[in-house]
Structure formats: structure tokens, C-alpha cells
Structure 1
Amino acid sequence: MSTSVVCEANGVGGRMSWGERWGFVRGDKRQIQTAVLGGADSEEPLMLLLEAIELDAFRRRHEHDTFRCGLLLGGCGLPLMTKLYTDRVCHFAHHPGPDGHPHLCGRRARGVNSADHLYVKSAAAAWLHGRGEQARFDFAQPDGAPIGSVVDIQLRRGGPRVHLNQAVMPEWDADSEPVLGMSVPVDRDVLIRRWYVHRIRLDSESTARRVRIGTEAFARPTEWFGLDECEMTERGLSTSAVERIIRARSTPPSSRWPAGKAKKVPDAQARAQALLRRLAGARRFESVVAVKRICDDIAALAGTNQRTQAQLAAALDDANH
């Protein structure tokens, strides 16, 4: 049976128990990698560095800080200490109970991603503030889902719902725009119908987690961006990949026919219906350039019957108002 040297720091009021509890411990499986700074209901997350060589500096930096098993992490709210190991990862741990037995905590999520919802809120709030926007945040728990499964970002008009795991199924026809964590599947038909979806991942950087936004489309690799490279538009969260996808879907594809081989040209009626569908798609995504181009194509179209001409005229009138 393996053992390891462990020393503890209580993280409460700066009272460090260096040397007070040196000894050998048997396997401690309560590997809590995240905590909050301050009170039990704090929203300031902290991730513990995993290597012993890093933990010494971590303890010095947070000598006067209090670590807690935060309520918003699904924890008990009680103080945590840090444990330093030489043969396995370092982690937070609860103080023993008054009887000396281990403290029993019902917290389920304990890994490095267990505070990701707090990191998402912090990053999104700072990003929106830098753009003159304010939002309300909610860690909703529909149908008893674990806290941290979703983060609702409520803007003046709609806003994203971030799904960090599979506990809550995305609602594609709701007012909120689903943003999917890496483990959340998306149906092929959804990708085709919506043109694209957004994903989110968090990368560990020292004691923090950095938010990255990905744009995924059918038959395209997911492209990743920092939050400062994203924008919030009338149609929702947007990246440069979104703009390229919209342009590609709003522009007729180049000819794939080899030189010298004639391609059958669709009749005016079929072309009119295709233009109407493209116009509806471009207006849905509020692509002004695409709408203007399609309107010009409609205006130049000839050879349709009276009923189709009326449809085209109504679509042009609606697009210009």
C-alpha cells in the first residue's frame, strides 16, 4: 500500500499549520480541486494547482485568504485546507470533524471543471461590461439538475444558455441561444437547419480557467475564439466564422461543371422559389449585404407567372421596410 508525505494549510485567516500535522496518510479519495475565496456563498472560484512544487507558491500567495467548499459549487460552505502530496495530485480537503472523523460533504462535482459555471459568469460579465452591456446571470437547475449544469445569461433581448454538461437538454426553439459544452452532443439535422451552433470550452491557466468559444457547422471543423474576438449581435453570439458561414450560405456556389459541359438552367419559377428561400434565410440572420444582393436578383428576374410575381413583390416590399 502506497503512502505519501502530506502537510496541510487550513486557509482560514492565514493560520498556516506548517509542520503541525506531518505524517503518513492512507489513500484520500476526496480530491477536491476547486474552492471559492471568502464566504460560503462567494462567486470567486479558485482552482488548486496539482503539483507539489506549485503548491508552496500558491500557499504563500493566498496566505491570508479563506478557502471554502462553496454553496454555489454544491458544497457545504465549510472551510477547506490544502493538502500537499509528493506522489499524487495536491487537492483541497475538509477539516476533520470534532470527533476526529472525516467530514462528510454531499458535494458531487469536485474536479478541475467543477467551478466552470463561476468562471463562465465572471468572464461573460467582464466581456459584456467592456461592451457597455449588462446581464443577469442565473445558475438554473431545471428538473433538479446539479448546480453548474447551465448558466443563463439574460440580456435585454434574450441571451445565451450555456450547457456545461448533458444534464439539461438544449431547447433549440426557445428564446435563449444554446451554447454547448464539449460533452454535449448536437444532432446532424440541427446543424443543417441552424447553419451553425456555438460551443464553449475552458482551458486551465494557473489557478484560473480561460473561456473559449467555438463555432461548429456541418462538414466544417470547429473554429475557436477568445471571448474578446466574439460579438453579441441581434441574432445572438457571433464570431468571424459565423459571418463566413452566412456569406457562404447566402451566395450562389461557384460552378462545378467542367468547361464545355452545359449545365441545365432552372426555369424562372424554380429560381424564384429558391430566391425567396435564400432571402428568408438571409433576413433571419440579418445579413444586410446578402439581403441586398438577393433583392437585386429578384428585381432582375423575369419570366415568372402572375402569382409568383406577386410573391416576389411582397417579399421585396417586406425586405425594404
Structure 2
Amino acid sequence: MSCRRSRGVVLQRCELTYGAESSAPEAVAVAVEGSSLTVTAVAAGTAMVTVTATDPDGLSAAQSAEVTVEAGSIFRDDFDTNASRNNWTLYNVDFRVVDGVLRLSGTHSQFLGSADHVLETQATEWVLTTRLARSATDEPVLVYWRTGHDRFSLFRLAILDFSDGDNWWLAVWDEQADGYQGISQFAGNSDAIAEPGEFMEISFSHQNGEFALTAGDTELFRLSSAGRIGGVRLGDMVDRVVEIWLGVGANGERGLFDWVDLTGTGIAAEEASGSAPPGVEFLPRTKDPDRMRLGAPAEVPLSGKNR
């Protein structure tokens, strides 16, 4: 059936077909079924969504609108009272909130201690931030998160004065090697790492194709998600946050946490049960000297020696 027009006005009902396009499908996805448009938030970002209507004669009209997806709050604990204890499962630690600050103390003579929170809603395009302090240069304070990746399942940041002069080290747990792996870009010494007893904000993020770590206002690294480690794309390793741990050393070593906050695009969480992070034996101050560099985009094997 043709559509009769007079001076651009449709005089007879037309059977129109519709299409839609998103300028940034990684942030906003669109789908059309009949005359119904579905817009789905995929990740934080902005996209121009264009809808086109076409009549049987091939004439068409389009209309566009800007759609913004903002990162939402996934989890936050301000440690206002000891009621925060209900948010965490404890492994080899004493958990006490004093004046709005969580004081974690290791209770085992050999094993690291941690407080574990399994997320009810997992996060992509995420930012994980905590305000923390260590109690002494030889006592580590730790932040872990589980990635959901089959092989590289967990990252662990250790704030500690290591024997090689570094004062921070981000290691990744390799299920194939059954140990933590070291990558040269994931360690260093920075004046932004606060002295014992002084609080600082530590922030990890995976957004817009980049993986970054900052201490206060100082960027410790920012890497493309296209880099590969052991045959695996970095972006696939850090795509989501499934579980969070806050940790300390063994045998009375302490860490202080003012708050922890995770924002991002929420996705349905698969059923999961919490556990202590792997590799909880005493954290040595000596790291593997043969750490490899992240390949971008070439594949680079991991050293396989850090445990």
C-alpha cells in the first residue's frame, strides 16, 4: 500500500517500519520489535540513539535523542558502628569499629587476615575506592577483589615497604599456576602512599577501555584494556567485580579502613558463597625480581613465581 500525501501530510495510514541505532552500543544498547523501542543501559557513558521510520515507498524520517547512563552505587560501608560487622565474613581477623573507623587486626600467627563481602549485585565499568591507613611500615594493609575470570580470578593490592624499595604491589592470582603473579607495571614506589597512621584514598577502576590505580590525586598506572597477559586480554580479566576483601597481615598486624565504596553498572550476580582469598600465607617483603611487563597488544607470559 502506498501512502498518499498532500504537501507532506499523510492522508492515508501507512505501514511503517522502524529501526534504531546507538552511537555507543558499549554504553547504550537498542532494539526494535514492531513499533516498540527498547533501550538498555550496558555501562556508564553517553550515546546518541537514532530512531528511523520508513514507509512502503522508501521515504523515511529520523529522530535522535541523547541517552546518558550514570554509574550507580553498588556497595558502600562507612563503618559508622559495629553493625557493619554484618556486611562481612571474617577470616583470621578481629573486626572493631572505633570512632567511625574499622580496625582490622590479624589473629593468626602465620596467615593473613581478611574481611570478605560477596556482592549481591556485581559491577562492570566500575570504580572501587577505599580510604585506608597502615599502622606500621612492616605491616601490610591489603585490598582484594574477585574478578569472576576463570583463570585470573583475583587481584590483591598490598601497601607495604618491600625490600626492593617498592611501597605498593598489585598482584593477580593465576588459577593455572596456583599462585600470585607479578607484572612490572603493577608495582612501584610513590610519595602518594601515605606514611603509617596517615589515611589515603586508594581507587581502582575499569572504565572506557582502561584499567587504572590511583592513590589520592596521583595516578599510579593507567593501562589499555587491550593488553594481553598469558594469552588473556586485560579487559577480560578486570571486566567485573564479584567479591571484595579488606585485609591485614598476620599475628596482630593492623589496618585501618574509614570507608569502602563500589560504583558501576550493576549486573545480576550468579549465586556465590564467600571464602578466604587464596594465598593467605605470610606476605613476604621480597617480591619476584623477574616480573614481566604487560603486553599491549602482544601476548606476554607471566613469571609464575610469586606466591
TM range (shorter): under 0.3
Q: TM-score, normalised by structure 2?
A: 0.24
User: In proportion to residue count, which structure has more helix?
Assistant: 1
TM-score (norm. length: structure 1): 0.23
